[in-house]
Chains A and B, each alone.
Chain A
Amino acid sequence: MFVITSDKLPVVSMQLAIKAGRIQEPHARLGVSEFAADLLVKGTTRHDALAIAKQVDFVGGTLASESTFEATLVSCSVLARDRRMCLDLLPEIVTQPSFPQKELDAVRDKLIANARQRLEDAGVLASLHVQNLLWGNEHVRGWINSERTIGAVTRDDVVAWHKTWFVPANAMLVVTGDVDARKLKGDLERTFGAWKKGPVPPSPTFQAQGLSGSRIRLVDKPGQTQTHIRIAQFGIAHDDPRFFDTLVWNYVLGGGGFSSRLMRVVRVEGGKTYGATSSFDRNLDQGSFVASTFTRNSEAVSTTKLVLAEIARMAKAGPTQDEVDAAIANIAGGYGLRFQSAADLGGALIGAELHGFGREYLANFPLAVGKVDVTSAAQAAAAILDPRAYVIVMVGDAKDLEPQLKAEGWRYEKVAYTEPISPEVKEVAKPADPKAIAAMQQLVAEALVVKGGRAKLEALKGLKMSASGSTAVQGQNVPVEIERIFLIPDKIRIDATLTVPGGQKVPVIVSVLGQTGWQLGPNPKTGASQIVDIQKQDLGAIDFERWREPELILLKASAKDAKVTPLADEMIDGKANAVLLLASPYTGLDVKVYLDRKTKLVTRIGYTDGPVTNTDDFADYKTVGDLQIAHKRTQSAGGRITTLTVAKVELDPTVPDSAFAKPATP
């Protein structure tokens, strides 16, 4: 509990946070946190809804409760002379709500009214759709309520929710204003004293499915004359070390109102919109980064391209020195403006405490912003913004938008604005259409022939490849030279040499022979070269690497027992690609393979490991022996990008086992 006393004005505010919000809701009980929050003021074991409303209205106070993504926030504000009202009533509604069925029915009607009314608001629809498209249907952030889910919540659900989460150890209280801290303690002991203690259950955790490439969803709203656009990627968690850097580069990109690049390009220069912004979630878990704007239908795709170009420019070059200075001046300089009342400070304190930062977070905030520099902001932007993997939602009239999307060669999925945004929970995934599976198997067979044929690939004993290019190290691109040897089935050696700024060459080697392996690289602390054994638990990852070897992936995909699921086509560099999901023997590590519809060559292989998406892009195919081998390769691992141009490929190289053995000294 925190108390902030101030006698500047005769007012008192209480703010209580329960760490239970949308993220804790069971999938089949979507909305239960909202029901519970709305019902707290609608009756307790001692007062009915009208009696509560009369008490609050009589003193002209406010007593409110709302559920957010990660907490339920209950607040009460009154004139100091009426402080007893808050001191008695807030604890009562939190600890002894009665959740009357009649009130629950009224709350349900309000929630249904909201769900219907949002159909008239293309901006709200766009914001909900983009979360669903980004996070998918297996992640809490992708679940969007509907009239059906609102209809499914019962009083028992609400009672159980309250019993589970509304326990003292899961709550924090801030009291601000004209109060006597010593007296307050006694008062609160009296009013909260009977609150039953209980264990705080663990919160559910979710893994992001990851993204590879871009996806576009067109939400058709006939008659709409203005298109609402959202572009989203994965963001960061509040405790991410790049949080303050992100605050700064995002201010420059789209968070800074008229001082932002998006506003300048889309509104001030383009006249395409009233507003263009970008924002990122400030949550304990990884949230989203979303750029938002709207424009007349005829400018929808051109405006989207302007926003994408600004995101790409920020990812590539970061903000300028002047922009960073201006951003810091506003964010740090304006920090005090936000705390004009004691209640403002109380709200901020609750926010910091919810995320486990402690009260010093607020005092240190301007200093932390001030420490951001051009380099750190640019590195954070480069690492977080992936110009190749994002989702786009457009809500507008499809008859105006489809010709633009088609002219641009952008593939998209189309849904009606009236459709539920995320599928019903009980719905079982439809088995893929057997015809679609057969067509995909046929395409894989054709791709195998283009690659060089089954016989040639099955006879292959190994590959040696040398390449050069660049890779991102701590947000900076540095030149790299690579030699990679793969002897089928289980010997790998990769020798890489990085040229770090200053011209120094840093060697990195990974070598695996069967079930043992070692690697050479700089000691993370001293920077000196060292050799370490690859730990047993990491060898699993290397097994997977060997399994998904790009040159052999079509053999895996065309095997008799291969489990292939056809997915929707996607565009890569303006070309249509067939996409198939290939089940791997490794749990949770299925591989997406992209085949160019025209050339039938593999253009991309991607997979998702927890929150990290990895993709390898292949281009510039050349004939080596009788095989087609890509000579341009781009690897993106969790946003870190390595581009390589292959100089030489040797098939079936002769390499002795000794080449894989661990040397005695670095």
Chain B
Amino acid sequence: MHVRLLALAFAGTTLVVAPIAHAKGTIANLPTIETFTLANGLSVAVLHTDAAPVVAVQVWYHAGSKDEPRDRRGSAHMFEHMMFKGTAHVRAEFHAQSINGLGGYVNAATDEDATHYINTLPAEHLDYAIELEAERMRNLLFRKPMIDVEREVVKEEIRRQENSPITKGFLRFLGVAFTKHPYAWTAGGTISDLDATTPDDLKKFYDAYYQPNNAMLVVVGKVTAAQVKAAAEKWFGPIPKGADVPRPSKDAQEPAQTQKRKELAQPNQIGLVLVGFHLPAARDPEIYALQVASIVLGTGDSSRLKQRLEREDPKTKVRLAVQAGMESVVREEPGLTVALGAFFDPAAGDKIEAAIQDEIEKLAKTGPSADELRKAKNQVQSGFVFSLENAQGLAEAIGRSWILTGNPSAFLGDVDQIEKVTSADVQRVVKAYLAPDKATVVVIPPKPRTP
């Protein structure tokens, strides 16, 4: 249920644990990612793989919900929808239908930092997929009737979240954790802001962010860099470079937290405690030790929090939580790491919070054991190798890496960086970042039960 609860909590947005890791030739042979930039500023990354005759063609726009005006929450997401609604030369829905017609798969996703467009299709159609993506980069039409219909579609997506107490509780948690930074809201958006959004607002957003100098074309699959370069020059090349891109979040950095925050959310069938801490940004080297800390505490059935909370306490004979765990949400700007426990007994919430704090304190005091450290590193290595199986997943890792660090190949070095983490590093970052006075706690109480 841990996964299920989290999936619910993050419904409609993308939950990203920082792209994990790379391994030396001893684990897997990894071809290099080739990158180049067109004259108009479009970045291109190509990774040749030949496991299957498939190509993943993705365009990553560096535009997420943190770039939205505060009274237009949901614009980035609305945009993701509008990108399928027709351009100067392609009628509405045709992009998806024609890729489907080639046996391909089409989708898109919006999160706090980026919006990306996904095409996975037989490798011989590379050129066509790039042509379609180039077309909608600058030729989108803003037709009011279409915007009005699509607004209703997005509102249904939001309504689905509003009917989920866990998602509502999680959104509340973000609002408490971020007092100033736009990570306080997710890409989901709000109905009132969407109703206020005009075609002009959307056009403004499009002109600001949907520009070649704010995007990366990522191609992974059975294609060569030369083929990709030719197609990119042909279709994206003629698009002129856009203006410099506004970053409203730069003026809205979250002030350092100096005392614990705790709030109660609306009840849910099952109680849930969320205990979160601010992380540094993805580019900060401390992020690796923090990731190891998060794994030691809450990844895998043998992790500390699962053992402490999901198993019967030998002394009290009480099992505090139905499910427990920890997730790190590493973002371009400082994100969050969250420990959580699900429970039945209304009195268990505070005890779970205390137990989580206790486990963090223990880790700060003595650090992980040699076994635990090795285990965490092995988990990162293995996760990385399995992520290489699939072209679409690899393209996501490259695009995400570019958004988070500015370097599409950065994720390939993550396994090495993780490998260098020592027990003392973990101790140091836990003390610095997971201190009790930096905690944000939100308790979603269980609904009272009638016998």
Contact = CB atoms under 8 A, between A and B. Distances in A.
Interface string A395-437: 0000000000000000000000000000000000000000000
B253 to A, nearest CB: 34
Given A10-B385, A113-B344, A226-B163, A336 B53 contact: yes
A225 to B, nearest CB: 6
A9 B160 contact: no
Nearest to A337: B54
Nearest to A226: B159
Contacts of A270: 149
Contacts of B255: none
A113 B52 contact: no
A296 B149 contact: no
Contact of B1 (A114, A268, A274): A114
B441 interface: no
- Where chain A touches its partner, the secondary structure class is helix
A330 B163 contact: no
A121 B161 CA distance: 10
Nearest to A269: B149
A366 B356 CA distance: 52
Contact of A224 (B52, B154, B163): B163
A272 B156 contact: yes
A333 interface: yes
Contacts of B160: 123, 226, 274, 294
Nearest to A264: B93
Contacts of B105: 334, 337
Interface in B148-182: 148-157, 159-160, 162-166
B157 A113 contact: no
A271 B153 CA distance: 5
A222 B378 CA distance: 48
Contacts of A78: 382
Interface stretch (A57-65, A137-145, A234-242, A312-320): A57-65
A335 interface: yes
A437 to B, nearest CB: 35
A340 to B, nearest CB: 5
Nearest to B161: A226
A60 B156 contact: no
Contacts of B27: 10, 79
B96 A106 contact: no
Interface stretch (A47-55, A383-391, A490-498, A536-544): A47-55
Interface stretch (A254-262, A507-515, A573-581, A656-664): A254-262
B103 A334 contact: yes
A11 B389 contact: yes
B52 A57 contact: no
A295 B155 CA distance: 10
Interface in B310-358: 310-312, 319, 322-323, 342, 344
Interface in B20-53: 27-28, 51-53
A113 B268 CA distance: 11
A102 interface: yes
Nearest to A325: B101
B382 A79 contact: yes
A58 B380 CA distance: 11
Interface string A449-476: 0000000000000000000000000000
B295 to A, nearest CB: 9
A85 B92 CA distance: 52
A343 B269 CA distance: 37
A50 B342 CA distance: 20
Contacts of A264: 93
A527 to B, nearest CB: 40
Nearest to B150: A271
Nearest to A335: B103
A326 interface: yes
Given A225-B163, A337-B121, A10 B28 contact: yes
Nearest to B392: A340
Interface in B62-98: 84, 92-93, 96-97
29 contacts: A57-B299, A57-B302, A60-B383, A106-B311, A113-B270, A116-B270, A117-B4, A117-B5, A117-B268, A121-B164, A224-B163, A225-B163, A226-B156, A226-B159, A226-B160, A257-B100, A268-B93, A271-B151, A271-B152, A271-B153, A274-B160, A294-B156, A295-B156, A330-B104, A334-B104, A335-B103, A336-B103, A337-B105, A341-B390
Given A11-B385, A330-B100, A333-B102, 4 more contacts: A8-B51, A59-B378, A226-B162, A337-B54
Interface of A: 8-11, 41, 49-50, 52-54, 56-61, 77-79, 102, 105-106, 109-110, 112-114, 116-117, 119-123, 224-226, 256-259, 264, 267-274, 294-296, 326, 329-337, 339-341, 343
Interface of B: 1, 4-5, 8, 27-28, 51-54, 84, 92-93, 96-97, 100-106, 120-122, 148-157, 159-160, 162-166, 268-270, 299-303, 307, 310-312, 319, 322-323, 342, 344, 371, 374-375, 378-383, 385-386, 388-391
